Amino acid sequence: MNPSTTLSALRTGWYLLLIGAVIAAGVAVTIERRATPVYEARASYVVSPRVGIDPNDVAQGVNTLDSSRSRSILTTLTEVAASDAVLTQALSTLGLDPVLAESYIIDSVVIPEANVIETAATGPDPDIATSLASAIGEIGGIRFVEMYQIYDVLTLDPATVPTEPANPTLEQLLIIAIAVGVIAGAGAALLQSAWLGRSGRTMSSRLSAYDPTVTPIEEHGRFKRVG
């Protein structure tokens, strides 16, 4: 379909774009009103050479934290912090029901261009999310240091209790929904144009099968009805 045909189809089926946008906006409003608020808490930790150990180990720690090798070390720490074992221990340490693990999303990521990781917990209770974000970072750091004793994992920014839900706002949902609705409406308009064009060509081909010239029928002799 060439650009001119596409524009013509969109002009003809403009109402389909409007219908798609209205329906999508309605869905977005419904989702936003029915969504359960969730809260996200984050804490960050820095990895550094451990102080007070053998100087050779300190030198090794410094060397392995250069830009070319630190990535694998930090990735190991993030995997440890986000593991099920650390989450189970964190719930136990905080005295929380293990069933809560199903209601919270635990994550750990490496901050680009820094020897820093960030732990996060997202769930329906802001206080529990904050406690979990801190606990998994601290417990994960302890376990990491037990395996790699030449490093320390120190708190950089402690987790703070979030005051606003992490859910997308209604405005954000509407922007996405309307964009999707317009795209869907445009697709429907193009399909409608293609279907109407095909129907028109089919009808034209049927009509062209008939000979447009008409041959007069010769007049036959008339017979008089005998009364």
pLDDT tens figures, 115-163: 899 999 999 999 999 999 999 999 999 999 998 888 889 999 999 999 9
* 227 has pLDDT over 50: no
Report in angstroms the alpha-carbon separations of 60 from 50, 115, 142, 145. 10, 15, 20, 15
Quick one: 39 exposed, middle or buried, by C-beta within 10 A (0-12, 13-18, 19+)? buried
The pLDDT of residue 57 is: 53
46 Rama sector, left if φ>0, alpha if ψ -120 to 50, beta otherwise: beta
The first and second tokens of residue 16, run together, are 């389909």
Closest CA to 158 of 8, 9, 44, 20: 44
> How high is the mean pLDDT of the chain?
80
- Is 165:38 a contact under the CB 8 Å cutoff? yes
- Look at 42 and 2; give whichever has higher pLDDT: 42
The pLDDT of residue 100 is: 84
- Is 121:39 a contact under the CB 8 Å cutoff? no
- Is 32:170 a contact under the CB 8 Å cutoff? yes
Domain 39-157 CATH (choose: 3.30.70.1130, 1.10.1240.10, 3.40.50.2300, 3.90.1510.10): 3.30.70.1130
pLDDT tens figures, 183-199: 888 888 888 877 776 65
Cross-strand partners of 107: 120
The first and second tokens of residue 216, run together, are 């007069």
Asked which of 27-31, 53-57, 99-103, 127-131 is least confident by mean pLDDT, the reply is: 53-57
Domain boundaries, the chain: 13-35+168-194, 39-157
CA dist 13 and 21 (Å) reads 13
Q: Has this prediction a pTM greater than 0.75?
A: no
The pLDDT of residue 89 is: 94
